[in-house]
């Protein structure tokens, strides 16, 4: 599978397709001329918003190292790490991971215990195990056309790798992209993917969006609104997740965790023999 075009547009020009879904049939017959005029005006307004968004991204977009590569393995690693960890914390971990295992073949050949140990602090350890399983599939058979066939790769991660690595015209919709689209009422396409991710992560944030800094604020129906907090995971302290983590660390260090229930749960997830 060959990559062809970049997945996000530069801030200097808007592609002919723009990064908004604007296709609509031109109305003919009675009232057709007026409807066509309205559609043209609406399209021009949308293109203007695209320009503002991409101009903002060119000035304020985050400089993240995985945006400077088209290597699908490196991008897959970044996407899995970002599932539960903020980007700023992922950067040094991603760099260290790629220094240690620079390719899918290198990760595939690594001892699983080392992979889990390197993953500590990045969230659910089974993601590391699935990442290695995916690397083994790639090392043996190459990258599949349907990336969701890889172990642990869901629809969003498949879309992200397809877009950012292989240049496919698909918009990866994470929580930030979804938030911007829902609040603005606009459906964007893949050329605005990274701009939307950064806007949602830094300006159109969950509870109190910074509308005064938003390039889309002028036409946004949600401007000035405040939002209820999203449901959060229960406290970690005293949770079964904490017990699992403690048991896994003990096993990796060669000691007895003395928590049979936690060990059984780790074994069910394939984290221990």
Residue boundaries of the structural domains of the chain: 71-164, 236-273
What is the maximum alpha-carbon separation in the chain?
Answer: 81
Residue 17, both tokens: 């397709």
- Predicted local confidence at residue 112, as pLDDT: 95
CB 246 within 8 A of CB 255: no
* pLDDT value for 105: 98
- pLDDT-derived band at 51 (thresholds 50, 70, 90) equals confident
CA atoms of 269 and 250, how far apart (whole Å): 17
Q: What pLDDT does residue 34 have? A: 39
Q: Which long-range contacts (CB under 8 A, 24 or more apart) does 233-242 make?
A: 240/265
Half-sphere exposure of residue 254: CA atoms within 13 angstroms, side-chain side:
1
Judged against a pLDDT cut of 80, whether residue 57 lies above it is answered with yes
Nearest to 4 by CA among 165, 207, 191: 165
Among 19-23, 121-125, 143-147, the range of highest mean pLDDT: 143-147
User: Regarding predicted confidence, which is higher, 7 or 211?
Assistant: 211
Q: Average per-residue pLDDT in the chain?
A: 82
E strand or H helix that includes residue 267: helix 260-268
How many angstroms separate the Cα of 82 from the Cα of each of 23, 71, 221?
33, 17, 30
Q: Give the residue from 223, 260, 221, 255 showing the smallest Cα distance to 240.
A: 260
pLDDT at site 50: 82
The residue behind tokens 């620079």 is: 102
Unique residue bearing structure tokens 């203007």: 48
At 260 the pLDDT is 60
> Which has more confidence, 208 or 265?
208
Q: Which residue has the higher pLDDT, 25 or 243?
A: 243
Which residues make beta-bridge pairs with 8?
A: 192
- Would you state the pLDDT for residue 47? 81
pLDDT above 90 covers a percentage of the chain that reads 61
Q: How many CB atoms lie within 10 A of CB 69?
A: 14
Can you give the C-alpha Rg of the chain in angstroms? Answer: 22
Which CATH code is given to the segment(s) 71-164?
A: 1.10.340.30
Indicate if 52 belongs to the active site.
no
Q: What is the pLDDT of residue 115?
A: 97
Catalytic residue among 44, 79, 99, 260: 79
**pLDDT value of position 228:** 80
Residue 265 has a CB neighbour count (10 Å cut-off) of: 18
DSSP label at residue 230: P
């Amino acid at each position: 599978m060959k990559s062809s075009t970049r997945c996000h547009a530069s801030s200097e020009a808007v592609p002919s397709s723009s990064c908004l879904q604007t296709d609509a049939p031109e109305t003919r017959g009675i009232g057709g001329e007026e409807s066509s005029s309205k559609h043209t005006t609406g399209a021009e307004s949308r293109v203007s918003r695209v320009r503002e968004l991409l101009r903002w991204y060119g000035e304020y977009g985050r400089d993240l190292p995985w945006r400077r590569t088209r290597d699908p393995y490196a991008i897959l690693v970044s996407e899995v790490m970002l599932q539960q960890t903020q980007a700023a914390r992922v950067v040094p971990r991603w760099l260290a991971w790629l220094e240690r295992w620079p390719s899918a073949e290198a990760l595939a050949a690594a001892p699983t215990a080392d992979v889990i140990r390197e993953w500590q602090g990045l969230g659910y350890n089974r993601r590391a195990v699935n990442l290695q399983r995916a690397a083994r599939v790639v090392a043996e058979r190459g990258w599949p056309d349907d990336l969701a066939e890889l172990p642990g790769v869901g629809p969003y991660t498949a879309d992200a790798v397809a877009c950012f690595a292989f240049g496919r015209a698909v918009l990866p919709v994470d929580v930030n992209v979804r938030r911007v689209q829902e609040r603005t009422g606009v459906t964007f396409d893949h050329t605005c993917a990274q701009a939307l991710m950064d806007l949602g992560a830094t300006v159109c944030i969950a509870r109190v969006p910074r509308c005064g800094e938003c390039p889309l604020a002028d036409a946004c129906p949600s401007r000035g609104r405040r939002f209820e907090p999203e449901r959060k995971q229960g406290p970690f302290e005293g949770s079964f997740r904490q017990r699992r983590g403690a048991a896994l660390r003990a096993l990796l260090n060669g000691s007895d965790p003395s928590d049979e229930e936690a060990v059984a749960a780790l074994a069910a997830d394939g984290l221990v023999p």
